[in-house]
Structure 1
Amino acid sequence: MARYPAGPWSAAGDWGLLLLRLTFGLLMAAHGAQKLFGVFGGQGLTATGQGFEALGYRPGRVFAVIGGLSEGLGGLGLALGFLTPLAAAALIGVMINAMATVTGANGLWEAQGGVEYSVGITVVALAVAALGPGRLAVDRFFPWGRGGWLSAAVALGLGGIGAAITLSL
């Protein structure tokens, strides 16, 4: 019996999920590298830490490392389809923090500094956790690689808990 039946796990579906994972995952990994290493036009850890301090995250440098690693490792995990629910949780947590501290007061649209981008990333991460990363992923060999309600709940729950802890500190 095939592990993935015909239907959503067709060859086209697998390639579509790979394209989605690579695009969003690598963009988020690069975003994390901007924070951590100052590459791709980023400010680097010192300036990012100062920015986090200005937002009320203290010590700013520690939270900049947490944010950068969450984006970097979460993005790489999503791109590879590796530990997908945890990768999605990392990205969801970062995006909830961004919405709560930076963009939430500015409404919906990105052009006005709103939550549009953060909502998009959150929904993509949650959808990949729910659908599973597909057969072209490292996770295809593990039970959580098929996605489902539990994977989505883990991603959303851990992301929300991580955001709540971070915001409460």
Structure 2
Amino acid sequence: MSWGRVLVRVVVGGLFVGHGLQKLKGSFDGPGLAGTEKMMQSLDMEPAKENALAVALAETGAGAAIAAGVATPLAASGLIASMVTAIRKVHGKNGVWNSNGGFEYNLVLISTLVAIASEGPGRASIDAVFGKSRWGGGGGLFALLVGVGSSFAVVEMGKRAAEQKRLVDGGGEV
């Protein structure tokens, strides 16, 4: 199973790196930071510039960490946070199926990341050098709880910042 883990890690981690680079640099026909910032504004994820940079760096860095098998539960938690936020802010209202813009793909990625964090990155990983080729259920639970909790915190902070921005821009009191 170790080489199977490597394959899953490299594919999932690599795709996240690609998504992060789309947001960060405009690679692979992505929007770049300016486009990602506009998306964050439209989703009431204020401060939009900081949230755009955070998601771009998180997907790029944590994707690379998953691919390399380093700090696996922590890396998985960052990517889970991104996917939970995508469900909550974009895809959830469209139902399950990806063909309708739903959250099917995000849910598959979340469950894959929880499995990677639980089962560990395998022997062919940086974590294994430090004796952590397998993290166990605690690693998966950590990744899921920190990821979901981070999403709720970021969305709530964004909502509050957006409300405050509207009041200031509208000339109202804060």
1:134 to 122, 139, 145: 122
Counterparts of 1:153 and 1:143, CA distance in 2: 19
Counterparts of 2:24 and 2:143, CA distance in 1: 24
Post-superposition Cα deviations, 1:95-147, rounded to whole Å, max 9, x if no partner, equal 00000000000001111000011101101110000100000110002354312
2:101 to 113, 117, 134: 113
Deviating runs (4+, > 6 A) in structure 1?
A: none
With normalisation by structure 2, the TM-score equals 0.87
1:158 to 129, 146, 151: 146
Percent of aligned pairs with the same amino acid: 36
Listed as ranges, the gaps of 5+ residues in structure 1 are 1-12
Map of 2:18 onto structure 1: 30
What is the one-letter code of the residue matched to 1:28?
Answer: F
With normalisation by structure 1, the TM-score equals 0.90
SS in structure 2 opposite 1:145? coil
Q: For 1:2-151, what aligned pairs fall within 5 Å after superposition?
A: 13-151=1-139
Listed as ranges, the gaps of 5+ residues in structure 2 are 158-174
SS in structure 2 opposite 1:118? helix
Post-superposition Cα deviations, 1:74-100, rounded to whole Å, max 9, x if no partner, equal 111110001000110011000000000
Aligned residues: 157
- Given that 1:18 and 1:79 are in contact with CA atoms closer than 8 Å, whether structure 2 keeps it comes out as yes
Which structure: larger Rg? 2
Counterparts of 1:16 and 1:134, CA distance in 2: 9
Post-superposition Cα deviations, 1:45-87, rounded to whole Å, max 9, x if no partner, equal 0111011100111121111111111111111111000100011
Counterparts of 2:86 and 2:135, CA distance in 1: 26
- Given that 1:36 and 1:68 are in contact with CA atoms closer than 8 Å, whether structure 2 keeps it comes out as yes
